[in-house]
Structure 1
Amino acid sequence: MFILEPIETKNLHTVLSANDLQIGYKSKNVKSIIASNIDFDVNQGELVALIGVNGVGKSTLLRSLIGVQDALDGNISINNKSLKNISPEDLSELISIVLTEQPISKNLSVFELIALGRQPYTNWIGTLGKRDIQQINTALELVGITELRDKKCFELSDGQLQKVLIGRAIAQDTPLIILDEPTTHLDIYHQAYILKLLKKLCVQTNKSILFATHEINLALQLCDKIVLMQPDKVSVGSPKQLIENDSFATLFPSDLIVFDKISNSFKIKT
């Protein structure tokens, strides 16, 4: 399996930073801690995967990073400004979000759904200006769905709809895009297609993309950095660094699945 080398980061701007982060839930005076000591950066143009077993806290971390859920401790910064000090209006120009099961009207056309990404910039009645139209057309082209622009969303396959949702995030024109399991419900070909599309968008637009995924073998091949969540620790590094540190050795119970360092992939134990 081919592993991408980490891109040079010393001259890149840090778009998202989590410092000594503690996440979980707070009820009255009781804290339910899910994960602590989380430290990582997402730099300009990086594709970063958030991986871990079910229930380890990936969705909780994403909700904390986008401001939907308060972190228990630590600091989250976007473009060197604390998330706590960013208004919802300003945040919509910094982060665009693609959720797994987000409510959308499938009676909208592809163009109309992508146009929703321009809401932070349009007037109160949502009138699209020349720049808005240009951004929408650019998004259609970047994700390769220009020929679908007039189709209704209910006519699309799951893979096509996922590309439309990514197009909406591109049209929003934020420096950071966060996705929660963007390959859910897709076959292996379209899983690879979507993740390769995300990598291409990082290269072509210089945007930063952070996504949660269970497609670990694909993430190892395509990502610049991985945030590996485990019940007792959070490890961060390039795929190559994490493999060399044996970080994946204890991710799953070894009676069924093992990490093969020869192929750099998980395999079923036989």
Structure 2
Amino acid sequence: MTKSAAHILKTEALSIGYKKKDQEQLIASGIDIKIKQGELVAVIGVNGIGKSTFLRTLSGIQPALSGKVLLKSIEFGKIDALELASLISLVLTEQPVSKNLSVLELVALGRQPYTNWIGKLSKNDLRQILSALKLVNIEPLQEKKCYELSDGQMQKVLIARAIAQDTPLVILDEPTTHLDLYHKAYVLKLLKDLTRKTNKAIVFASHEINLAIQLCDKIILMQPGKVEIGSPEELLKKNAFSEIFPSDIIVFDPETVSFRIKS
């Protein structure tokens, strides 16, 4: 599928953080990013740097301290909740879901923004649900209860629900938490394939930096005092990855394009 040149997500001089009474706790400022449809984008950085806060701000759950977040060139403040649900689908870490639902029923929840007041699914809703099951390769699981699934299978179900919501932008917070190395790679490769097959932009936070460098179109690198975005190749040329961790234990090897324990 041919990628559109349109920017689905853009920020201008964005500052993120928290407001407590009359005080602001600033996490990062001056964030300027542009993400196109069909791009896979990882948000990386050390624990506690603010990745989840950043994603919550991009998805409208948490207000920005200042600056702008634009979806399809429209500012957040001018988008109502129903329209926002047709633009962004969200998969959060430890998202509360009823595991008594079947896989099909949980994926069907992605169609809620489009159903009528009694929640009846249309033929188009069913098409979107079945298409999502097929895209994520979980058709054989559709009758299983969610409590019967492994962590890796459950993660795929949540991704399928996001795909069924049929939004141009999908945001995931730590989609590979609790997964072993094989399933981490499987889920991130799945996300890459989904951007190509659906032309959706997918933005996810991750600690899997080595995998992100191999698979992503762009990486948003969060460090104390600055946030930068670029292709893996652009960030490699700037030696940006060598600054993520303290160099006493882990170093970035540009030849193998990966982190290793310092000998």
TM-score range, shorter chain: over 0.9
Q: Which residue of 1 aligns with 2:214?
A: 221
What residue identity is the alignment partner of 2:188? L
Map of 1:148 onto structure 2:
141
One-letter amino acid matched to 2:161: R
2:162 to 138, 161, 169: 169
Q: Secondary structure at the match of 1:150?
A: coil
Residue correspondence of structure 1 range 1-270 to structure 2 within 5 A: 12-270=5-263
- Structure 1: distance between partners of 2:95 and 2:14: 26
CA distance in 1, matches of 2:204, 2:36: 14
Distance 1:220 1:158 in 2: 24
- The one-letter code of the counterpart of 1:247 is A
Q: Is the 8 A contact 1:235 1:247 kept in 2?
A: no
- 1:4 corresponds to which residue? none
* TM-score, L = length of structure 1: 0.95
| Structure 1 residue 68, shift from structure 2 partner | 1.0
Contact 1:220 1:239 in 2 (8 A): yes
In structure 2, the gaps of 5 or more residues are none
Identity of aligned residues (%): 61
The number of aligned residues is 262
Contact 1:183 1:213 in 2 (8 A): yes
Secondary structure in 1 matching 2:210: helix
Per the alignment, in what secondary structure is the counterpart of residue 185 of structure 2?
Answer: helix
Contact 1:52–1:214 (8 Å) recurs in 2 = yes
Shift of 1:27: 2.1
Q: Compute the displacement of 1:28 (Å).
A: 2.7
* 1:158-210, Cα deviation, whole Å (9 max, x unpaired): 00000000000000000000000000000000000000000000000000000
Q: 1: distance between equivalents of 2:47 and 2:77?
A: 28
1:12 and 1:169 map into 2 onto residues whose CA distance is 23
**Match of 1:249, SS?**
helix
- Determine the C-alpha separation between the residues in 2 that align with 1:259 and 1:27: 38
- Distance in 1, matches of 2:5 and 2:42, equals 18
d(CA) in 1 for partners of 2:81, 2:200: 20
TM-score, reference length from structure 2 = 0.98
1:24 aligned counterpart, secondary structure = strand
* Contact kept in structure 2, 1:53 and 1:251, CA below 8 Å: yes
Taking the aligned partners of 1:217 and 1:84, their CA distance within structure 2 comes to: 36
